[in-house]
Amino acid sequence: MTIHRNFFPAAFAAAVFLAHSGMAIAPLAAQEQEPPRTLVQGRGVELTTARCVICHDAQHITRAKLSREEWAFNVKNMIERGAPITPEEIPQIVDYLATYYSRDSAPPAESAAAEAPVAAAAEDPAQRLLTANACIACHAVDRRLVGPGFREIAQRYRGDSAASELLARKIRDGGAGAWGQVPMPPHPQLTAADLGLMVSWIMKQ
């Protein structure tokens, strides 16, 4: 009984504080290391990226570590702000966030490990870059995820001599409108060489 009486007001107060000020997160942002720009791979990453990386970048999430109750509150809050999430999707997104961005427990070991072996195992340096930069959270070769499939991108721009430069710039700067209203986030960390490798690989699909 005591546990229940103390627990709920504390969790609620923390969530309200977070929702209104964002201050519970701000001190973390001051740390030297920049938070990752993409969500970590794991069950639910595609849905969470599709629904949550629309109005702001993924760093809003990757710099946060919240309890499950606080994530549930945050998701509710984002829906009130206009996030297009159906009631059935809420538990999947909260599960993902509470698993990989939890204040109370470390993310499952396979999530950190999962990305590295795939990246290391990929023979092709372009594929390695696509994995390491989490492009594959939003893109597949032969179907749409959040973004268009790499094959349909290649088909659209085949024979267009200006395409390589245009696509490299688009990946670096991000943007929307070519395939729909959902934007691609910018990737300012990529070098011209990396961009060139990825674009020529995509154009060969």
Q: How far apart are CA 75 and CA 128, in angstroms?
A: 32
Comparing CB distances to ligand HEC, the nearer of 6 and 155 is 155
Q: How far apart are CA 118 and CA 53, in angstroms?
A: 24
Collect all residues with Cβ–Cβ distance below 8 Å to 164 and sequence separation of at least 6: 196, 199, 200, 203
Determine which residue in the list 52, 72, 98, 197 makes contact with ligand HEC, applying CB under 6 A: 52
- Asked whether the CA dihedral 10, 13, 19, 25 is positive or negative, the reply is negative
Q: How far apart are CA 179 and CA 167, in angstroms?
A: 13
Minimum CB–partner distance for residue 184 and ligand HEC (Å): 3
Collect all residues with Cβ–Cβ distance below 8 Å to 196 and sequence separation of at least 6: 164, 168
146 touches ligand HEC by CB under 6 A:
yes
203 touches ligand HEC by CB under 6 A:
no
- Cβ atoms of 184 and 174 closer than 8 Å: yes
Q: How far apart are CA 13 and CA 9, in angstroms?
A: 6
Minimum CB–partner distance for residue 1 and ligand HEC (Å): 31
Q: Which stretch binds ligand HEC (CB under 6 A): 3-11, 26-34, 55-63, 119-127?
A: 55-63
202 touches ligand HEC by CB under 6 A:
yes
Binding-residue pattern over the window 167 to 186 for ligand HEC, x denoting contact by CB under 6 A: x--xx---xxxxxx-x-xx-
Comparing CB distances to ligand HEC, the nearer of 6 and 34 is 34
Burial of 121 (0-12, 13-18, 19+ CB in 10 A): exposed
Comparing CB distances to ligand HEC, the nearer of 6 and 175 is 175
Which residues are near ligand HEC by CB under 6 A?
Answer: 18-19, 22, 25, 38, 49, 51-56, 60-61, 64, 74-75, 77-78, 81-83, 93, 97, 130, 133-135, 137-139, 146-148, 153, 167, 170-171, 175-180, 182, 184-185, 187, 198, 202
